[in-house]
Amino acid sequence: MDYMLIEKQLKAAADLNRMKLLACMKNGEVCVCDFVEVLGISQPAVSQHLRKLKEAGIITERKVGTWKHYRLVEEQTPLMKGILEHIQPLTGCNCGTNGCHVGGTDSE
């Protein structure tokens, strides 16, 4: 068992905002700008939450133009599979619904 990975994943998942981010990503890939709207916090704060989830190996990112899009890693640890099973998908965070990735810049 990789106890350090388990600790990282538990710490990353044990935050209400990060749980909401995971709930959004259960529906698929999401642009960083959509997370700002869903959580109602600043983009730098969203970026910090996303960084912790990424460092824990729970999510991955890809760049699309000037924006970053995030999704759950396909191969989750048994621990994260169990946690994700109990998180209900959150609607209203569909990638690109507000057209934010057209023309803007991402300050990450």
Domain 1-84 classification at class level: mainly alpha
Looking at the chain, the whole-number percentage of residues with pLDDT higher than 90 is: 66
pTM equals 0.84
Position 95 scores a pLDDT of 56
96, pLDDT greater than 90: no
SS3 for the chain, per residue?
Answer: CCHHHHHHHHHHHCCHHHHHHHHHHCCCCEEHHHHHHHHCCCHHHHHHHHHHHHHCCCEEEEEECCEEEEEECCCCCHHHHHHHHCCCCCCCCCCCCCCCCCCCCCCC
Please write the tens of the pLDDT for every residue from 12-51.
999 999 999 999 999 899 988 888 888 889 989 999 999 9
